[in-house]
Amino acid sequence: MSVRGVRGAITVEVNEETPILQATTKLLHEIVKSNGIVPDDICSVLVTVTGDLDATFPARAIRVMEGWELVPLMCALEVPVKGSLEKCIRLLVHVNTVKSQREIEHVYLGGAQVLRPDLTKS
């Protein structure tokens, strides 16, 4: 078994608590579903947000999900590169899995699909 990183990103329309928490939950659910992940297999989750999203900590959405109470979470600010995608939440889920790197399904939703069009499902 190896530790693999599963990437995901999603954008929100407004810097408000509810949309940020809902988007985080939606993104994580899609990552979990696409990769057959259960919380016990998770090593940790790194959550980043762009500087324009400061209404809440996105990790709050994960913390209240059933089975995710003990998963180590960390929030950070994304590097503020000029012209980069705005209002974006990114997840890096570290998971114990037998899957190879090529078998991992990364998830990019909404406006975040522009980040990795090569990995975005149509």
* Phi, psi for 5 (deg, rounded to 5): -100, 130
The answer to whether residue 4 is catalytic is no
Q: Is 90 marked as a binding-site residue? A: yes
The answer to whether residue 90 is catalytic is yes
Residue from 30, 60, 105, 116 carrying the catalytic annotation: 116
The backbone region for 110, taken as left when phi is positive above 0, alpha when psi lies in -120 to 50, beta otherwise, is left
* Phi, psi for 97 (deg, rounded to 5): -155, 160
The answer to whether residue 7 is catalytic is yes
Q: Which two structure tokens, joined as six digits, stand for 57? A: 């900590």
Residue from 30, 60, 75, 105 carrying the catalytic annotation: 75
Residue list, annotated binding site:
7, 90, 108
Active-site residue numbers? Answer: 7, 63, 75, 78, 90, 108, 116
Residue list, annotated binding site for prephenate:
7, 90, 108
